């Protein structure tokens, strides 16, 4: 989690400062334009990467003038994720999760980054924290099933997968195409809960 004490940000300009909101809205617009143009392509086109780097510059200016807040740090984390700079995304996303622990999106993004950094154990920790905020979030249960499957822990993968299905049966449709389940796909317990043909 972020080492920055949260009390540091309470005595500064109101979050409703219209100049800050306008600057943040502009940065968000650049981010949306870049991500729409990228369409999930890897590697990013130079124009998309340039737009994302512009967003980072805008965020530097916003945070220098009005201090980091969860909204700007969330956007910073998302930009780093799109740029494939997962190690740099961890700090701002951790800040958001610390400031707004009910934001399951921050926990999901942290887990996503940790997985890509080869730290599935930390990805699991992040999603478990997210479950304390919202134990009914099917996506958290589903992703935990994926991460436990990557660690070859069929028992926990099946347990979380069953919980995801109970909360939202539509997750059952994703299992057959999910590569994270490949390490346990032929296990009888997995096949029983997933009801997929492998």
Query: Which domain does 44 fall in, by range?
Result: 1-100
Q: Is residue 35 part of a domain?
A: yes
Average confidence (pLDDT) over 21-26:
94
Residues 92 and 141 in one domain: no
pLDDT at 102: 95
Spatial distance between the Cα atoms of 19 and 187, rounded to a whole number of angstroms: 56
Contact status, residue 95 vs residue 70, Cβ threshold 8 Å: yes
Q: How confident is the model at residue 3 (pLDDT cuts 50, 70, 90)?
A: very low
Contact status, residue 86 vs residue 113, Cβ threshold 8 Å: yes
Residues 90 and 1 in one domain: yes
Residue 40 has pLDDT above 70, yes or no: no
Average confidence (pLDDT) over 21-44:
85
Residues 90 and 181 in one domain: no
pLDDT at 39: 67
Residues 64 and 138 in one domain: no
Q: How confident is the model at residue 38 (pLDDT cuts 50, 70, 90)?
A: low
Residue 69 has pLDDT above 90, yes or no: yes
H/E stretch holding 60 reads helix 46-66
What are the backbone angles phi and psi of residue 61, rounded to the nearest 5°? Answer: -65, -45
Residues 19 and 74 in one domain: yes
If one counts the domains in the chain, the total is 2
Domain boundary among 39, 68, 100: 100
Q: Is residue 112 part of a domain?
A: no
pTM to 2 decimal places: 0.84
pLDDT at 11: 31
Domain boundary among 100, 134, 150: 100
Contacts of 90 (CB under 8 A, 6+ apart): 77, 110, 113, 114, 117
pLDDT at 15: 52
Q: Is residue 193 part of a domain?
A: yes
Residue 61 has pLDDT above 90, yes or no: yes
Residue of higher predicted confidence among 14 and 149: 149
Candidate from 5-9, 129-133, 186-190 with smallest mean pLDDT: 5-9
Q: Is residue 93 part of a domain?
A: yes
Q: Which two tokens stand for residue 13?
A: 């300009």
Residue 7 has pLDDT above 70, yes or no: no
What is the CATH number for 139? 1.25.40
pLDDT at 36: 85
Q: How confident is the model at residue 41 (pLDDT cuts 50, 70, 90)?
A: low
Residue 82 has pLDDT above 70, yes or no: yes
């Amino acid at each position: 989690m972020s080492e920055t004490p949260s009390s540091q940000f309470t005595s500064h300009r109101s979050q409703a400062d219209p100049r800050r909101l306008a600057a943040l809205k502009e940065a968000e617009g650049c981010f949306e334009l870049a991500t729409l143009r990228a369409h999930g392509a890897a590697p990013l086109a130079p124009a998309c990467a340039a737009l994302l780097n512009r967003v980072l510059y805008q965020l530097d200016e916003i945070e220098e003038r009005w201090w980091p807040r969860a909204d700007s740090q969330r956007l910073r984390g998302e930009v780093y994720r799109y740029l494939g700079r997962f190690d740099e995304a961890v700090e701002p996303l951790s800040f958001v999760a610390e400031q707004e622990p009910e934001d399951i999106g921050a926990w999901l993004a942290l887990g996503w980054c940790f997985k890509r950094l080869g730290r599935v154990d930390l990805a699991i920790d992040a999603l478990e924290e997210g479950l304390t905020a919202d134990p009914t979030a099917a996506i958290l249960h589903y992703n935990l099933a994926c991460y436990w499957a990557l660690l070859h822990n069929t028992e926990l993968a099946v347990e979380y997968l069953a919980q995801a299905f109970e909360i939202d049966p539509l997750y059952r449709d994703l299992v057959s195409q999910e590569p994270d389940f490949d390490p346990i796909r032929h296990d009888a317990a997995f096949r029983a809960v997933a009801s997929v043909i492998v």
